[in-house]
Structure 1
């Protein structure tokens, strides 16, 4: 995707509290599918939903990028056909939904520590340093602890401005999950969640809001999806992973983080895994749907179309879209498990569109993550 396109999407988000696909149109008697939630995968969803509509001219897919917390609430209220979240539902949240919910992973991505610091194009950070910055215990860029791991970088005597999310956010959940794993102090003081009580910094709404604020503020740093920082030309720090290596975000390093045993329900995090090649702030992002799709308002045709949309997203065509705009496609194991999850969706108790056993076990090898040209940070 061209930079100008995503910049337009970011500006659109900043001036709208209810983002929708840029191809939103009247249904004209067709089927409308509505969703809301995470801003992290919005650039991907904007394109993959548009592509699906081009292939299915009688279908409209609307998506409001309101944050993971808002997406979960919207699904609970049954005001949308699907919610979108970068954080899987906890057991307590699942119980609050009043009916079984299925998690459909759509792609993977990386959260970067993007910053604006004149003359500094390369930076290394560790989890404990990031924790100390957001706890207000490291306040200047030339702090000796940052300098110690960046000996060849001229860091200014400038105040650090941490930027964080003001809304309920799956990005915040994964960011805080990572920090809990690497910093006992963070775990004790802040914990993890989609919304936190912050000790330092300034707030912004959504990934686009945080990215825009970082870009406008000299000395700012914040956690955002890599596609946003790449498009705005914001540099991103290399992060020290669990194996002790400083790693840049890339399709390869994100994919390496997912090379772990995956649960059948696909509710898992892939932050700070053991792999020496893994990027430590990697994540899955999901669409959330009720297992039983007859809610008294949705027709059988509408339910079938929702299932067809989910199948398209995890198809080779849908996953190629993710790879082209710097989200990592799902692994073969993830696709196999997701096909089984889609095969559980019912209408009046009847399976809607089951994959055959052969289809479930046979995953196309058309997508080779590591062969795709990697254009992410620090590899340009």
Structure 2
């Protein structure tokens, strides 16, 4: 069983037992499916090292935001950053945890992973329902030597509120005026066509089982399910494949402090090696938590993941946050997250 399969198997088990009574020491969280594999892998290692578990519900970014605002979990997780006003109004602190890539995945006979090339305009036209067959001239032009079938394109998209959808739609809006005006950018969309599936898991399963399908998932899910991912023409006009190096290239020049809550979107970044649908995922916690001890335990877990989780992230083709950003985030914790008496829950000497 591969590293990724182990991680997702662990994550699936955690989800399956999420309604069982958790240990009082366990850390509770809910939200994005995008980072589910790496959170599961970190949780397994942290449990072995400290005895403290992570009870994480992979329910989508929208669900995670709702649960943290309702104070039913210690932390929420979202791939769509909240605005500065929303953070302030909700009393939340937001910080990035890890980065990865969103990839188009297809189910086409005779096409191997990375063999098919798409650009942003063509991808947008497919999801707008304008390109209906795999042998369309626009796809043929990008793939002159490929044997593309005369087969209807079956579009699979997320049905739940999803940060993966937000980042995917953000990219399409950057490269297609039609997408921007007709569909726009949000965690939930009025899709012009296609069938919906819940979570990265649901999209991956639907594409795997539907001949002629195309969908979008976080890269670890594509690898786990042995799906055929496409290469993409990036902003510099170069065809690139998704991997940790191209995700890192897209994130290299990001100014994380330029947006409230480090809410920088990494889509369509310049650079010959940049993957155009690179994305971060964020953690949301209350600045003044109802249960300071629970949040203190969560911050210790996040600090451990920053310090020791980089190699595990690499193994799953995620990208760890740069050391400079980690330092800024931990300074934010000391400045903004406090108990009822005004004492910081996290110290840089922890």
Q: Deviations over 1:137-167 (max 9, x none)?
A: 0000000000001001010000001110000
Question: Which residue does the alignment assign to 1:127?
Answer: 120
For 2:248 and 2:50, how far apart are their aligned partners in 1?
31
Q: Is the 8 A contact 1:271 1:282 kept in 2?
A: yes
Question: Which residue does the alignment assign to 1:327?
Answer: 318
For 2:277 and 2:32, how far apart are their aligned partners in 1?
17
Question: Which residue does the alignment assign to 1:367?
Answer: none
For 1:336 and 1:43, how far apart are their aligned partners in 2?
24
For 1:94 and 1:113, how far apart are their aligned partners in 2?
31
TM-score, structure 2 length as denominator?
A: 0.92
Matched, 1:312 2:304: yes
Match of 2:241 among 219, 236, 248: 248
CA RMSD of aligned residues (A): 2.0
Distance 1:44 1:245, change over 3 A: same
Deviation of the 1:56 alpha carbon? 1.7
Deviation of the 1:71 alpha carbon? 0.1
What secondary structure, in the 3-state scheme, does the structure 1 residue paired with 2:282 have? strand
Deviation of the 1:339 alpha carbon? 2.1
Question: Structure 1 stretch 80-89 or stretch 340-349: which is displaced more?
Answer: 340-349
Question: Which residue does the alignment assign to 1:32?
Answer: 26
For 1:284 and 1:72, how far apart are their aligned partners in 2?
16
Deviation of the 1:320 alpha carbon? 1.8
Match of 1:287 among 283, 289, 299: 283
What secondary structure, in the 3-state scheme, does the structure 1 residue paired with 2:129 have? coil
What secondary structure, in the 3-state scheme, does the structure 1 residue paired with 2:124 have? helix
Question: Which residue does the alignment assign to 1:302?
Answer: 294
TM-score, structure 1 length as denominator?
A: 0.85
Matched, 1:277 2:273: yes
Question: Unaligned 5+ residue runs, structure 2?
Answer: none
Match of 1:216 among 209, 212, 222: 209
Question: Which residue does the alignment assign to 1:55?
Answer: 49
Matched, 1:88 2:89: no
Question: Which residue does the alignment assign to 1:67?
Answer: 60
Distance 1:168 1:192, change over 3 A: same
What secondary structure, in the 3-state scheme, does the structure 1 residue paired with 2:228 have? coil
Q: Is the 8 A contact 1:21 1:49 kept in 2?
A: no
Q: Deviations over 1:319-361 (max 9, x none)?
A: 22111111111123322222222323211211122216xx9xx
Aligned pairs for 1:10-29 within 5 A:
12=12, 19=15, 26-27=22-23
Deviation of the 1:9 alpha carbon? 5.8
Distance 1:289 1:20, change over 3 A: farther
Greater helix content: 2
Q: Is the 8 A contact 2:30 2:64 kept in 1?
A: yes
